[in-house]
Chains A and B, each alone.
Chain A
Amino acid sequence: MSQQNEGKVGRKQAYSLRGIRILSVEEFPFMAGLMASMLREFGVGKVLSTCSVEEAKKLISLHNEDSDKENHIDILTLDLMGPLKNGLDILEWIRRQEKDEVRFLPALFCTAYASQDIVCTGRDYGANEVMVKPVSAEKLAQRLLHIIDRPRPFIKSPAFFGPDRRRQDSQYNGQERRIRGANDLKVVHEKE
């Protein structure tokens, strides 16, 4: 399914997003409301939104530490443009948590900053996907499809925990190459 559907939106057979819960963290209430409305139009059953990093952390803990999976937050969208560090703080906090239900939470990091540095920073802090603004429904749908259709494996090393940062299949054999290719890593199934 994934390969066939990769990157496409709007095909005939539709997902049922009614059963999922998305938490949207925005810097401004107006943008939070807009994002929530768009997600509801996609058919997402439960949309939570907040403009506070601390409240977001509380909501994630409250929902994802619940023993009933139905109550879990399934995807986090994060857009804290001003003090960028706040947005990255929450990602770092999520990936450091002990509970699998929190630390594996898929995160979509939205940013106005199109520079490669910022995109790489979001990825290094543990974002599953990065969406560069301006916001459009098509772009948002594509990023959500990536998260659902092509969930990234996680890498756990002494220096990093988060979704696999490799975005390309091409082989690089220079001095600064990664230690191992994706296939050389020990594969475990901690989550399931």
Chain B
Amino acid sequence: MSEAVKLRESISKREAKRIEASKELQKKVGTGTIDAKKIAKAQDVIKTTKVDFAELARPDMDKIQKAIDDAKRDMLDHDAVMQSFKQPIMNLKANAGTFDYEFVSQLTGMVLMFLENIEKPDRKIIQIVDILHKTILLALAYNMSGDGGENGKTLLGAFDQVCKKYKPAS
């Protein structure tokens, strides 16, 4: 008998209850929807909010730098190293997408997708993350919002090539 079957039979002897959902909220708000104009106005809040994206990104940029420094010293725990790279990059991707830094969002998204397939970090992986870090620093210094124009396209293409050419160290 498989573990899954054993577990299922053991749990089935116990009680599970389904508690009907409360209708309290529906009673409070009535019926309908959220007005489209209000949604548009809320989206305008994001668009018109003056955000110093470099300032917002700083904690994640610091985390990436720390992850690079730590990985250079010790890469024994592969999962921990990969997580320390991926988490701040994921944060950057999300915030960049929210505040119209499409180039940073695309770049981080591309590198994330690449890192998702890496199980064992090596020196080349650290280099790629390091180049990403430096590129974002430049993008922030030059306030490259939106898609970054021609420079943005060129950099995305270059990163795509780097990721494709990567071969794990033997």
Contact = CB atoms under 8 A, between A and B. Distances in A.
A185 B15 CA distance: 9
Interface string A171-183: 0000111011010
Contacts of B56: 28, 30
Interface in B49-107: 49, 51, 56, 59, 87, 90-91, 93-98, 105
Contacts of A11: 32-33, 36
A187 to B, nearest CB: 5
A167 interface: no
B2 interface: yes
A17 B39 CA distance: 13
B33 A9 contact: yes
Interface string A1-19: 1000100111111111101
Highest count of chain A CB atoms <10 Å: which of B19, B24, B31, B87: B19
Interface residues of A, number: 72
A137 B42 contact: yes
A170 interface: no
Interface string A106-121: 1000001111000000
A176 B4 contact: yes
Contacts of B2: 175
B170 interface: no
B42 to A, nearest CB: 4
Interface string A136-152: 11101100110111011
Contact of B94 (A39, A134, A153): A134
Given A41-B38, A134-B97, A137-B40, A19 B17 contact: no
B22 A145 contact: no
B45 A41 contact: yes
A58 interface: no
B21 A152 contact: yes
A176 B41 CA distance: 46
A188 B19 contact: yes
Interface in A120-134: 133-134
Contacts of A185: 16-18
A148 B14 CA distance: 31
A38 B42 contact: yes
Given A13-B33, A15-B30, 19 more contacts: A9-B33, A10-B34, A11-B32, A11-B36, A13-B31, A20-B28, A38-B46, A41-B38, A43-B38, A74-B28, A104-B22, A133-B95, A137-B46, A151-B25, A157-B15, A158-B14, A179-B8, A185-B17, A191-B19
Interface of B: 2, 4-5, 8, 11-12, 14-26, 28-36, 38-46, 49, 51, 56, 59, 87, 90-91, 93-98, 105, 116
10 contacts: A5-B33, A9-B36, A10-B34, A12-B33, A13-B32, A81-B91, A82-B91, A113-B90, A137-B42, A164-B18
